[in-house]
Amino acid sequence: MSKYAPKVTVLKKELEEKPGFLKGNYSDKEWWDIPVEFREGNWCFPGKPEVLDDLGFPNPRKWAATDQDWKLPDGWQKIISDGLQSRLKKYRSLKLFLDTCVRCGACADKCHFFLGTGDPKNMPVLRAELLRSVYRNDFPLAEKILKGFSGSRKLTPEVIKEWHMYFHQCTECRRCSVFCPFGIDTAEITMMARELLNLIGVNNNWLLAPVSNCNRTGNHLGIEPHTFVQNIESLVEDIEDHTGVKVEPTFNRKGAEILFVTPSGDVFGDPGVYTMMGYLLLFHHIGLDYTISTYASEGGNFGMFASNEMMKKLNAKMYHEAERLRVKWILGGECGHMWRVVHQYMNTMNGPADFLEKPVSPITGTRFDNAAATKMVHIAEFTADLIHHKKLKLDPKRNDHLRTTFHDSCNVARGMGMFEEPRYVLNNVCNTFHEMPENTIREQTFCCGSGSGLNAEEYMDIRMRGGFPRANAVRHVMQKHQVDSLVTICAIDRASLPTLMNYWNPGVKVYGLHELVGNALVMQGEKKRTEDLRENPMAGFEEGDDDED
């Protein structure tokens, strides 16, 4: 277990012993009087100077959140204040969300970080007030006359520390915005606050290093082209070992019909690689004319968590590469925030993609009208359509060794609205699927606790607390239905949920949806399959006289 998180028994005891969610006695305190306290496990290491230099981000230096002096640049108050003003002019959302809140409190207990930490400043309303209180200071006269009336305050280094802490205890998951009567979206506020913090060099290395990598090599993990290819080739070998089928992905191939883009975590990370194997099997099964790019080799977009410009910059590669390779349209893999960007931002930022064609499935002939302008289709939509048209030979019994539940990824749920497709696919590739309680799925789904660039090892304490509501819902189906497999369509989930499950629900494994598709696909020319893609034995396929070796 990580040295950055308390033992699970300690955390459990803490949650049990203090009734109610608000930990501590706040009867005589106002929130703005509570100091922030950085300790091991609740702050991410700041951006390394070389990373900042590479990105052209301001104020590169060595510092730590636990330092007294954060070495903010000269005139930082003005930088923040000007930065806020210019963003208020560019985003109606920011202005509205700062002006509108009536503090009704409907959002208070909707945030996974609040439920897990009991820290009042993790109530979405207070998270926004951290910024709002400074924004309101624009009316100093009224504040002078009616001191303390409007809840405004001056911008001090303490406020910056508070922002750093709490805008990194928000994963931009938008769960609060589902419940807000005015639709106030804390994600918008967090995005802006993080942009402001980046202006003065208050940042997070785990978030910025991938941005820098992605800019340089095309993907977050910083994999160079030859290594990228090698890694997929090794997955191809694994597939051949397991199934006897040789799949043949191509790279940077001009004239392919479809460009396939997925998060680099699927190429390099465990258990993401098994999902990648699932994609490769699927494409082989249907004889898809596709190619993978080593340049546009990242579906995810950590730029989104740093600034609008960075998001646009990183995402631009997809269209640029699609145009160069003269493909017809783009197919996107399983990822959460990638799909927030692709679905809600991409065409506006990087479009129009006139050089592409309206996506049509070459197998079923289905026209994806919902992607007519962006020309990018989600793999779950694509596969659901294939299954609906009975184009896949599936044996769901091959997943009988798994008892599954499905985790809706925040961005796909609340930033895209894709709920049915993955469930349809899942129900067709496995026989045992149980939903978590209704207040924890679909649009009310809980974040993994590590989204938006917070998946850092040194942040384990906060991550395990933030993931508590999700883990708790999994525990519910684990106890009630003996669920042991958490299926998801997000690369961050695949990276972070295994740790969360090991912490709260040992025994539960995390799967990508297309890994299960890969298990269930009956491939032409395959050998007798007794193991799944992870080389775990399948249930009901383990006859003694197997002819392997």
Partner 1 sequence: MKKVIMPFLMVLLLAIIPFVGVAWARLDYLFGVILPYTAMVVLIGGFLYRVVDWLRRPVPFRIPTTCGQEKSLDWIKQDKLESPSRAWHAAARVLSEVLFFRSLFRNTKAELHEGAHLAYGSTKWLWLGGLAFHWSMLLIVIRHARFFFIMVPGFVDFLTDADALFDVTLPAFYITDALVLAAITFLVLRRLKDAKLRMISLPTDYFPLFLLTAIVVAGILMRYVAKVNVMPVKDQMLRLLSFSFDAPGEIGVLFYVHLFLVCVLAIYFPFSKLMHAGAIFLSPTRNLCNNSREKRHVNPWNAPIKFKSYTEYENDYRDKMKKAGLPVEKQ
Residues from 187 through 216 that contact partner 1 (CB under 8 A): 188, 215-216
Q: Are the C-beta atoms of residues 434 and 405 closer than 8 Å to each other?
A: yes
Please identify which residue in 155, 316, 360, 363 interacts with partner 1, judged by CB under 8 A: 316
Name residue, tokens 């694509």: 382
The span of 44-52, 241-249, 250-258, 269-277 binding partner 1 (CB under 8 A) equals 250-258
CA 547 to chain centre: 42
Q: Which CB atom, from 225 or from 498, has the smaller least distance to partner 1?
A: 225
347 binds partner 1 (CB under 8 A): yes
Q: Does 251 bind partner 1 (CB under 8 A)?
A: yes
Q: Can residue 371 be called a binding residue for partner 1 (CB under 8 A)?
A: yes
- 366/450 with CB nearer partner 1: 366
Residue in 66, 85, 156, 230 binding partner 1, rule: CB under 8 A: 230
Question: For residues 419 and 541, which CB has a smaller minimum distance to partner 1 in the complex?
Answer: 419
Interacting span for partner 1 (CB under 8 A) from 14-22, 401-409, 505-513, 529-537: 14-22
Min dist. Cβ of residue 181 to partner 1 (A): 5
Position among 180, 236, 288, 430 found at the interface with partner 1 (CB under 8 A): 180
Q: In angstroms, how far is the first alpha carbon of the chain from the final one?
A: 38
Window 100-119: residues binding partner 1 (CB under 8 A): 100-106, 108-110, 115
Q: Which is nearer to partner 1, 420 or 535 (CB)?
A: 420
Q: Which of residues 75-94 bind partner 1 (CB under 8 A)?
A: 88-93
Nearer to partner 1, 65 or 441 (CB): 441
CB atoms < 10 A from the CB of 105, how many? 10
Which tokens is 357 given?
Answer: 């064609």
Q: Can you tell me the distance from the alpha carbon of 315 to that of 425, in angstroms, rounded to the nearest whole number?
A: 28
State residue 44 phi and psi, 5-degree precision: -90, 145
**Residue 154, C-beta contacts closer than 8 angstroms, at least 6 positions apart:** 134, 137
Q: What's the rounded Cα separation, in Å, for the pair 150 and 500? A: 41
Q: Which of 210, 191, 195 is nearest to 54 (CA)?
A: 210
> Minimal distance in Å, beta carbon 445 to partner 1?
11
Q: What angle do CA 113, 512, 273 make, to 5 degrees?
A: 110
Contacts of 199 (CB under 8 A, 6+ apart): 58, 79, 80, 83
Contact between 179 and partner 1 by CB under 8 A: the answer reads yes
Sites for partner 1 among residues 391-450 (CB under 8 A): 413-421, 424, 437, 439-440, 443-444
Should residue 143 be labelled a site residue for partner 1 when binding is judged by CB under 8 A?
A: no
- Subset of residues 476 to 495 that bind partner 1, contact rule: CB under 8 A: 476
**Total of residues contacting partner 1 (CB under 8 A):** 118
- Kindly tell me which of 75 and 437 has the beta carbon lying closer to partner 1: 437
Of the candidates 272, 324, 353, 335, the one whose C-alpha atom is nearest the C-alpha of residue 299 is 335
Instruction: Confirm or reject binding of residue 16 to partner 1 (CB under 8 A).
Output: yes
Residue 88 tokens read as 């208020």
Copy the structure tokens of residue 352. Answer: 């129009």
**Least distance from C-beta 109 to partner 1, angstroms?**
4
Answer for which of 129, 172, 298, 484 binds partner 1 (CB under 8 A) is 129
Contact indicator for 383, 364 with CB cutoff of 8 Å: no
Residue linked to tokens 């003694």: 544
Q: How far apart are CA 519 and CA 442, in angstroms?
A: 25
Task: Tell me the window of 175-183, 273-281, 482-490, 528-536 that interacts with partner 1 (CB under 8 A).
Answer: 175-183
